Amino acid sequence: MALRLPDRWVWDSWYAWDGPVCHAFYLVASRGLRDGGERHRAPSIGHAISTDLVSWEILPDALAPSHSPAFDSFTTWTGSTVQAADGTWWMFYTGSSREDGGLIQRIGAATSKDLITWTKHDEPAIEADSRWYETLEQAQWPDQAWRDPWVFKRPGESQWSMLITARHREGDPAERAAVGLATSEDLVKWTVQAPLSTPGQGFGQYEVFQYAEVDGVPILLFCCGWRELSPGRLGELGKIDTTYSLVVDQGLTDLDFTKARAFTDTVVYAGRLVQKPSGDWYLLGFLNDANGDFVGELSDPTPVTADPTLGVVPRL
């Protein structure tokens, strides 16, 4: 495998290129927990670098939970990393707090000059807006979903967009998955917008979004576990936790998740599309399950391209 740690499990990851060096950030937790399911309440954000996406040099962890009281005193979860015009690197990540039992997810920010040493911002950057999104008081779900921020600029736009794993406040509780949206001019002040999706499209949640234009095809990437699929979706795919791709327009309008296609050529969860400086695209994610046991390691990169109908497909 591309990245396996002998003492720690690895799962959700995201990537940022600084010249010829790719920085991987990923969730890690001690294998001493024994039960892989316990990792969700004991994560830090690990860090490694590579020039080929195969051989990785492990660096000190980037972030860990804060001391109480804090919005991220319990967990630091999945995020994304971008560079501002002034050269500052921004990491947006998910936090949960011991003060509320980890039930409310919020999105925080940290900044760095070198991608190595990070300074957290004390207050969350953005929280769910109950006008559009399911909050804990309304929740038909174990917690308040507001996580996995993916920050990027849409083609031709100057403002930043953030895609967020969220839930619609209305609709069938089993199919309230939402593409949450927030926008910002400066990466500091964020405004929550209405969701880009509608409920009732076969998914209980869309996790770990990414928008990328792969060989000219606009793609929305996400993942979903089989337990969060509608009966119809489950009947089509079976009991597989995997990554999905959806061909979209650049404006991310009229999203039709009934057309989302599972990537099963290489089954990885929380898949990410990573483009090398050469221009070639690869899919990386973590190996989730082997005979009922959590694996917890990052896959080797799978060469991919995109089909205007099928979405992400292997590159032959």
d(CA 301, CA 275): 11
| 121 located within any domain | yes
The pLDDT of residue 236: 86
The pLDDT of residue 2: 83
| pLDDT tens per residue, range 227-240 | 999 998 999 888 99
Q: Residue 25 is inside which H or E element, if any? A: strand 21-30
Q: Is the pLDDT of residue 139 over 80?
A: no
| pLDDT tens per residue, range 14-27 | 999 999 999 999 99
Interior angle at CA 160, CA 156 and CA 162, nearest 5? 120
The pLDDT of residue 297: 96
> CB–CB of 286/270 below 8 Å?
yes
| 4 located within any domain | no
The pLDDT of residue 124: 97
Domain that holds residue 295: 64-314
Please tell me whether the peptide bond between 65 and the residue prior to it is cis, using omega within 30 degrees of 0.
no
| pLDDT tens per residue, range 87-114 | 999 999 999 999 999 999 999 999 999 9
| 52 located within any domain | no
d(CA 63, CA 14): 14
Report yes or no on whether pTM surpasses 0.95. Answer: yes
Q: Is the pLDDT of residue 159 over 80?
A: yes
Q: Is the pLDDT of residue 243 over 80?
A: yes
| 105 located within any domain | yes
* Average pLDDT score, the chain: 96
Specify the amino acid at residue 138.
Q
**Can you tell me the mean pLDDT for 32-40?**
91
Question: Percentage of residues in the chain with pLDDT exceeding 90?
Answer: 91
pLDDT band at 34 (very low <50, low <70, confident <90, very high): confident
**Can you tell me the mean pLDDT for 308-316?**
96
| 164 located within any domain | yes
Q: Locate 226 and state its tokens.
A: 């089989």
Any idea what the CATH number is for the domain that residue 287 is in? Answer: 2.115.10.20
Q: Locate 296 and state its tokens.
A: 């917890």
Residue 1 or residue 257, greater confidence:
257
Q: Look at strands 293-298 and 302-307 and give their pairing.
A: unpaired
Rounded to a whole number, what is the distance in angstroms from the first to the last CA of the chain? 21
The pLDDT of residue 1: 61
**Can you tell me the mean pLDDT for 71-88?**
98
The closest alpha carbon to 247, from 275, 270, 217, belongs to: 217
Q: How far is CA 163 from CA 41, 119, 196, 304, 316, in A?
A: 23, 23, 9, 23, 31
The pLDDT of residue 88: 98
Q: Is the pLDDT of residue 288 over 80?
A: yes
**Can you tell me the mean pLDDT for 200-204?**
97
| 38 located within any domain | no
Count how many domains the chain has.
1
Q: Within 10 A of 203 (CB to CB), how many other CB atoms are there?
A: 24
Task: Tell me whether residue 59 is exposed, middle or buried, using C-beta atoms within 10 angstroms of its C-beta: 0 to 12, 13 to 18, 19 or more.
Answer: middle
Q: Residue 119's beta-bridge partner residues?
A: 111
The pLDDT of residue 244: 98
| pLDDT tens per residue, range 52-64 | 999 999 999 999 9
Half-sphere exposure (Cβ direction) of 17: Cα atoms closer than 13 Å: 12
d(CA 128, CA 293): 33
The closest alpha carbon to 150, from 31, 252, 242, 268, belongs to: 252
In a 3-state reduction of DSSP, which class is residue 71?
coil
| 203 located within any domain | yes
Q: Look at strands 177-184 and 191-193 and give their pairing.
A: antiparallel
| pLDDT tens per residue, range 258-270 | 999 999 999 999 9
**Can you tell me the mean pLDDT for 69-79?**
98
| 233 located within any domain | yes
pLDDT band at 163 (very low <50, low <70, confident <90, very high): very high
Largest CA distance in the chain: 51
d(CA 128, CA 131): 9
The pLDDT of residue 134: 96
